[in-house]
């Protein structure tokens, strides 16, 4: 599924909390230094501190946060391989890779040239291509996209009477278009055409992409909107999406190890990581095909994404115009709605200027974060497992701690004292999306067990009589009682979502 660093869909929210057990022992972990960017001695020391300084998502006020080793956390989360690139002052300072790109097959190690699916990090590149066509006068940010769509039109309805779907609104997720994200297609399965995707017709596995809110009225993350944009770019230029993105973005930026081709060309298969699901099984064929290329089809490396972020930083400051003019780069990173610009997520108000995006396809997790102010530091983290999102976050917190960033720190909670009898009242089985969450009492500790939370039980730590947190992720669990005092459900709070798990036992 394509995803973002944004409020999550219920399906992605479940994926976002996925942890798992062991794939291989820590002794089999293999670390490989990039040959193209050998770290200096100072960077070597910092890398070691990053590797040994991973931090969980939550801390208890008054207690020192425990640091963790990357090797141990890879084993804990069932993540075979990780690749990292760190940059500042317009240059990639260091890269480091760990583990295996293919755990089951030829057991090839991850290298700096190993390709990962970037998933929703494809969207900022699609935004750059769209804005470059705006720069060339071939697209307008604010006209109705139906004026230039030729192969297919956005169906008009009651929501589009006075407001229209525009490129600006698609890029900022305010177009009112449906379909949060997509599932891919296994190698050998029939691939839908883009019009079949847009209309939700077989063999497409998604609902039709339609306007479901007045365009411009609200923010709602939509991979469907970017699929409309994919067709628009192809209709306007007469080129395929992969060749167009190669021409407008990849080659100008110097992303020599990147492609939007779906399926991945045979000559690149040897360089591609295999993705793994939460049950330790490789994705069929190694990875799913993503015909919604604009929303999630990019194959790339952390170094190439670092080059992209460095170029955007330079264009924002007016030091380069390889893709966008200074004015368009400023528009791209101006706040459109909530914490979003055109393609990138932005910093929250009051924080240092920053751009970022995450990606989540089956078997792959990725993150790019870059500050706009001097020294322009940033990091790209990519991993090849469904459980990689939490690991990536722990690495990001370690990087933030090492380099003194004010963002990405563990969330502090105040621990409350709750009677054991109250804790005992919450025990039972709760179901959400077909997944059972078992809450049980072990002496005076309330524990939760569920397949997305890994094989080890997680302690539910109280911050009030009815609200609890865990240390491994920024999840909050609250329990609800009916008028008779019986517990009826448990709500899982993740970002801005509240997901209700009904008590079934």
pLDDT digits (tens, 9 = 90+) for 57-86: 999 999 988 999 999 999 988 899 999 999
Phi, psi angle pair for 247, to nearest 5°? -70, -45
**Contact (Cβ atoms closer than 8 angstroms) between residue 140 and residue 134:** yes
Two structure tokens written together for 248:
């407008």
Name, in order, each residue with C-beta under 8 angstroms of 485's C-beta and a sequence gap of 6 or more. none
Provide the pLDDT for residue 497: 81
Q: Which of 3-7, 180-184, 388-392 has the lowest average pLDDT?
A: 3-7
Provide the pLDDT for residue 421: 95
DSSP designation for 385: B
Provide the pLDDT for residue 453: 76
**Contact (Cβ atoms closer than 8 angstroms) between residue 42 and residue 385:** no
pLDDT at 186 over 90: yes
Provide the pLDDT for residue 195: 98
Between residues 40 and 52, which one has the greater pLDDT?
A: 52
At residue 491, the 3 state secondary structure works out as: strand
pLDDT at 404 over 60: yes
How many H-runs (helices) and E-runs (strands) does the chain carry?
15, 21
Provide the pLDDT for residue 455: 67
pLDDT at 148 over 90: yes
At residue 246, the 3 state secondary structure works out as: helix
pLDDT average, residue stretch 173-198: 96
Q: Which of 39-48, 268-277, 296-305, 385-394 has the lowest average pLDDT?
A: 39-48
Two structure tokens written together for 182:
């997509």
- Identify the structural domains of the chain with CATH numbers, from first to last: 118-270+284-348 (3.40.710.10), 414-503 (2.40.128)
> Residue 472: which pLDDT band, with cuts at 50, 70 and 90?
confident
At residue 405, the 3 state secondary structure works out as: coil
DSSP designation for 486: -
Q: Which of 252, 240, 272 is nearest to 361 (CA)?
A: 272
Mean pLDDT score of the chain: 91
The pTM of this model reads 0.88
Name, in order, each residue with C-beta under 8 angstroms of 385's C-beta and a sequence gap of 6 or more. 20, 23, 77, 78, 79, 80, 275, 276, 277, 363, 364, 365
Provide the pLDDT for residue 105: 79
> Residue 40: which pLDDT band, with cuts at 50, 70 and 90?
low
CA atoms within 13 Å, Cβ hemisphere of 315: 24
pLDDT at 6 over 90: no
Per-residue pLDDT of 84-115, as tens digits, reads: 999 999 999 999 999 999 988 789 999 999 99
Please, what is the Cα angle at 445 between 391 and 21, to 5 degrees?
30
CA atoms within 13 Å, Cβ hemisphere of 46: 17
At residue 16, the 3 state secondary structure works out as: helix
pLDDT at 434 over 70: yes
What is the DSSP track for 264-311? Answer: PPHHHHTTBPPPB-TTS-BPGGGS-B-S-HHHH-EEE-HHHHHHHHHH
> Residue 23: which pLDDT band, with cuts at 50, 70 and 90?
very low
**Contact (Cβ atoms closer than 8 angstroms) between residue 1 and residue 117:** no
pLDDT average, residue stretch 311-320: 98
Name, in order, each residue with C-beta under 8 angstroms of 122's C-beta and a sequence gap of 6 or more. 2, 226, 260, 293, 294, 295, 296, 297, 298, 359
Provide the pLDDT for residue 454: 65
* Burial (0-12, 13-18, 19+ Cβ within 10 Å), 306: buried
pLDDT average, residue stretch 240-257: 98
Per-residue pLDDT of 9-20, as tens digits, reads: 333 344 443 322
pLDDT at 312 over 80: yes
Per-residue pLDDT of 354-384, as tens digits, reads: 999 999 999 999 999 999 999 999 999 999 9
Phi, psi angle pair for 120, to nearest 5°? -70, -10
Phi, psi angle pair for 438, to nearest 5°? -100, 125
pLDDT at 155 over 50: yes
> Residue 51: which pLDDT band, with cuts at 50, 70 and 90?
very high
For the chain, percent of residues with pLDDT exceeding 70: 91
Phi, psi angle pair for 454, to nearest 5°? 95, 175
Parallel, antiparallel or unpaired: strands 58-60 and 411-413: parallel
At residue 212, the 3 state secondary structure works out as: coil
pLDDT average, residue stretch 217-230: 97
pLDDT at 3 over 80: no
């Amino acid at each position: 599924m394509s995803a973002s660093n944004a409020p999550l869909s219920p399906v992605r929210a479940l994926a976002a909390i996925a942890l798992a057990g062991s794939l291989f022992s820590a002794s089999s972990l293999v670390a490989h230094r990039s040959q193209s960017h050998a770290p200096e001695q100072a960077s070597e020391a910092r890398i070691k501190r990053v590797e040994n300084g991973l931090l969980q998502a939550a801390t208890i006020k008054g207690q020192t946060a425990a640091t963790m080793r990357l090797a141990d956390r890879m084993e804990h989360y069932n993540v075979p391989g990780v690749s990292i690139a760190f940059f500042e002052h317009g240059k990639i300072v260091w890269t480091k890779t760990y583990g295996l790109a293919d755990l089951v097959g030829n057991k090839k190690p991850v290298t700096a040239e190993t390709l990962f699916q970037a998933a929703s990090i494809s969207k900022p590149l699609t935004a750059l291509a769209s804005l470059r066509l705006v720069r060339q006068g071939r697209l307008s940010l604010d006209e109705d996209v139906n004026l230039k769509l030729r192969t297919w039109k956005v169906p008009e309805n009651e929501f589009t009477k006075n407001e229209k779907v525009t490129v600006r609104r698609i890029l900022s997720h305010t177009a009112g278009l449906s379909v949060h994200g997509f599932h891919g297609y296994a190698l050998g399965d029939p691939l839908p055409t883009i019009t079949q995707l847009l209309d939700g017709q077989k063999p497409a596995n998604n609902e039709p992409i339609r306007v479901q809110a007045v365009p411009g009225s609200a923010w709602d993350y939509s991979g469907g909107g970017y699929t409309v944009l994919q067709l628009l770019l192809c209709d306007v230029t007469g080129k395929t999406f992969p060749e167009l993105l190669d021409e407008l973005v990849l080659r100008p930026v110097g992303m020599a190890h990147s492609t939007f081709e779906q399926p991945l060309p045979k000559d690149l298969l040897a360089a591609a990581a295999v993705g793994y699901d939460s049950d330790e099984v490789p994705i069929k064929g190694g990875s799913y095909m993503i015909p919604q290329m604009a929303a999630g089809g990019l194959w790339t490396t952390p170094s190439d994404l670092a080059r992209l972020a460095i170029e955007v930083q330079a264009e924002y400051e007016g030091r380069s115009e390889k893709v966008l003019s200074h004015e368009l780069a400023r528009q791209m990173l101006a706040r459109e709605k909530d914490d979003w610009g055109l393609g990138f997520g932005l910093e929250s108000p009051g924080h240092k200027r920053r751009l970022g995006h995450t990606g989540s396809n089956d078997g792959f997790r990725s993150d790019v974060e870059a500050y706009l102010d001097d020294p322009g530091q940033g990091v790209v983290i990519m991993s090849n497992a469904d459980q990689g999102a939490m690991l990536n976050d722990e690495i990001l917190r370690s990087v933030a701690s090492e380099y003194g960033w004010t963002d990405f720190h563990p969330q502090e909670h105040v621990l409350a004292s709750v009677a054991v009898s109250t804790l005992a009242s919450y025990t039972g089985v709760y179901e959400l999306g077909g997944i059972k969450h078992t809450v049980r009492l072990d002496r005076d500790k309330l524990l939760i067990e569920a397949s997305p939370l890994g094989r080890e039980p997680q302690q539910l730590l109280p911050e009030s009589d009815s609200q609890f947190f865990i240390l491994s992720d920024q999840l909050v669990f609250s329990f609800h009682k009916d008028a008779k005092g019986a517990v009826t459900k448990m709500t899982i709070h993740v970002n801005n979502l509240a997901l209700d798990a009904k008590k079934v036992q």
